[in-house]
Structure 1
């Protein structure tokens, strides 16, 4: 089942299957990503984060639920791949600014 995701979030999940540069373009210039308790600020840092994660692990993420929490949109995605603990469901907590992502926090 394909979830109806807001455009910037749909673009993020589509780019997630490609490369770090494509992922970084989904964000505002000063956006923040928090993943594995590490903060990545700005498009260059976000591109490096995604490129390094993709080099380390092969995975597929499938959004399975969405919850609008008034200013934040939480997407639960099912990830499968060659990483420890696979498969796993992760929560992607997005804050949008117009047609881009201003903040993303990824947590189990």
Structure 2
């Protein structure tokens, strides 16, 4: 691959492509807005998890489903039941801790919401 100047016909083609891209209003709007995402954003994910406020019914349902999957996995030894339990149980535990934390009034690392 050469680092020199492009041949005249290739430079002409490149100039035409650039002109057509400059005329594309939607592309210009997207580039100006800076909304081109390249993948998941860990900061957004962490903020979303931190805002998680589960309901008691949701946690109870997940615990019941987890127990049912655990019993099914123990009785039958079915790999699908064991993997499903391994997927649902950590979510149920995490949401349960979030619910208990909210019920206890702890606002997290900053302390209680009333400033005491």
Q: Which is richer in helix?
A: 2
Does 1 or 2 have the higher relative contact order (CA < 8 Å, sep 6+)?
A: 1
Higher radius of gyration, 1 or 2 = 2
Q: What's the TM-score, normalizing by structure 1? A: 0.30
